[in-house]
Structure 1
Amino acid sequence: MFRGVVQHIKRYPGIIPQMFFICLGMGGAFMYLIRLARGPHVTLWNKNENPEPWNKLDPTYQYKFVAITTDYKNLKKDGPEF
């Protein structure tokens, strides 16, 4: 298998930079995912300490919602009024 790859690279040397950047990108993505998984804010991955994290939320917990403010008076209707 490795011998075939070496012969292919010898035949097409333009593949070397492409393979380098592909491997660099994949390695960077892998390291980024590992860093995210070990972060202090990730509690869902720790099943031993907190198997159901949604049960610890009290009614006063402030959820993060996306609020888009729109002035409804200036919206244009596309359809007919019935």
Structure 2
Amino acid sequence: MQGLTLQSLKKHKALIPLYVCTALGCGGAVFYLVRLATRSPEVTWSRRNNPEPWEEYRNKQHKFYSPIRDYSKEESQAPKY
């Protein structure tokens, strides 16, 4: 197929932005999946060290803005399993 080798890509210069955008999209998707796997509290990589990672966030204060309610004095709404 034309456009898959470097020599044919030199003849069809209009395909270069297509390959660049596709590569950036794939790179962004991989970065997002790695970020989700390493930063999300729902993901655990070691069941022995941290069997319930979501429990770490039960007593942490989340930043909500409400001019009516003060969320800092309320208990967590997370269910207890």
Normalising by structure 2, we get a TM-score of 0.51
Summarize deviations over 1:49-82 as a string: whole Å, max 9, x none.
245x4xx9xxxx639xxxxxxxxxxxxxxxxxxx
Bigger radius of gyration: 1
- Distance in 1, Cα, partners of 2:12 & 2:48: 51
The runs of 5 or more residues in structure 2 that have no matched partner are 56-77
Summarize deviations over 1:7-59 as a string: whole Å, max 9, x none.
121121111000000000000000000110111403433334245x4xx9xxx
- Distance in 2, Cα, partners of 1:8 & 1:47: 51
Deviating 4+ runs (over 6 angstroms): none
Q: Which has the higher contact order (CA 8 A, sep 6+)?
A: 2
| Residue identity (%) | 32
Count, aligned residues: 53
Query: What root-mean-square deviation, in Å, do the aligned CA atoms of Structure 1 and Structure 2 show?
Result: 2.6
Normalising by structure 1, we get a TM-score of 0.50
